[in-house]
Amino acid sequence: MDIHIQRNTSVSLHQQLVTQVSMQIAAGLLRSNTKLPSIRALSQKLGIHHNTCLTAYRELENLGLIEIRPGSGARVALIEGQQQAQLSQGSDLASLAEFFVREIKQRGHSWEESLKALEHANQQHSNTTEQLVFVDQHSDILPLFKAELEAALKRPVIATEPEHVTANPNSHFIVNRYHLQALKTRLKELKIPEKEYDKRITLIDVRSGRQELDLIRQVNEGSLIGVVSISSIILRQAESVIQAVCGDRVLVRTILYSEGEEAEIANLAQRSKILFADVICAPKLKGFSKRSIQTLHTIQEGEIERLSKSLSAERLAE
């Protein structure tokens, strides 16, 4: 667990801990059941009071991201479904075909009746329209995921909060492990059987931000780093992480994008050593600065390809 703490910043030590640990879990850098440092060990390593670490761990536990077990310490919560584990072992067509043949033989079905069943399943699926639904508890970040997913998958995506999820039987849900429990709670409210969760939910990892931090570490002391986004969540996380890693070595200025902020953004673009903008804002800011704008992506590299494969695998398995 790679954690950085800075005291000379307006972001509290407790919030720095919560933000960095939750982002590493959301990005898949800390996997389910990973053992976390004890409160004593973490407080000694970071040189902060153990109550600060305890408060941060308790908040992460309340969010459902970690589990604190008496006698065995803290671990990342077991929030990865069986489906993801199966797909990680092999979701290519050859693996699926091998699994299908092995299963029908073990269950005593003939090849002829198996082909008929497969054709029937294909016809049924052809008569339904699968609806991709991205779920996140933060409403102002939903447009960013929607834009990035639709551009990559070349198909419509509904982006919504858990409480607005409906019982549409053709919905397939895409969610980050950070919000998985909230989605499952909503599905239980809708009386959707738990046995359907594995085939109807695909987990996706968000961007960890490591590449962006590598760029920031290279700038000179006193440089201004600008961040523009339509999402207040993105801005808060960016400011917290940059200050936690760099302290007062660099200056950070964030702007929540709106149509009336062009002059302020233009001024920031001219003064910033690096200007970051989300996937929606970046195209709008072209021409504001001679320097290239660094686009902040929401989804981890390689996740779109894995998502496409997993969705294809689920269609074949239905």
What tokens appear for 318 in the block? 């239905």
Is residue 316 over pLDDT 60? Answer: no
Using the structure block, give the residue that is written with the tokens 């039987």: 169
Provide mean pLDDT across the span 270-298. Answer: 89
Q: Tell how far CA 115 is from the center of its chain.
A: 38
Q: Is 28 left (phi over 0), alpha (psi -120 to 50) or beta?
A: left
- Do the Cβ atoms of 251 and 224 come closer than 8 Å? yes
Is residue 251 over pLDDT 50? Answer: yes
Confidence of residue 313 (pLDDT cuts 50, 70, 90): low
Weakest mean pLDDT among 37-51, 104-118, 167-181, 266-280: 104-118
Rg (CA), the chain: 22
- Do the Cβ atoms of 13 and 247 come closer than 8 Å? no
Q: Which are the contacts of 216, defined by CB distance < 8 A and separation ≥ 6? A: 225, 242, 245, 246, 250, 274
Total count of residues recorded for the chain: 318
Burial class of 214 by CB neighbour count within 10 A (0 to 12, 13 to 18, 19+): exposed
Looking only at the bridges linking them, the beta strands covering 251-256 and 224-229 are: parallel
What pLDDT does residue 83 have? 40
What pLDDT does residue 124 have? 53
Quick one: CA torsion of 86, 92, 96, 101, rounded to 10 degrees? -130
What pLDDT does residue 84 have? 44
Measure Cα distances from 141 to 123, 136, 230, 297 in Å: 37, 8, 8, 12
**Cα gap 161→139, rounded to integer Å:** 6
Task: Express each pLDDT in 176-231 by its tens digit.
Answer: 988 999 999 999 999 999 999 988 999 988 888 888 889 999 999 999 999 999 99
Confidence of residue 77 (pLDDT cuts 50, 70, 90): confident
Query: What percent of the chain lies above the pLDDT cut of 70?
Result: 87
- Residue-range domains of the chain with CATH: 13-31+33-76 (1.10.10.10), 82-205+302-317 (no CATH), 210-296 (3.40.50.20)
What pLDDT does residue 99 have? 65
Task: Express each pLDDT in 123-148 by its tens digit.
Answer: 555 444 689 999 999 999 999 999 99
Confidence of residue 93 (pLDDT cuts 50, 70, 90): low
Q: What is the mean pLDDT of the chain?
A: 84
- Do the Cβ atoms of 142 and 159 come closer than 8 Å? yes
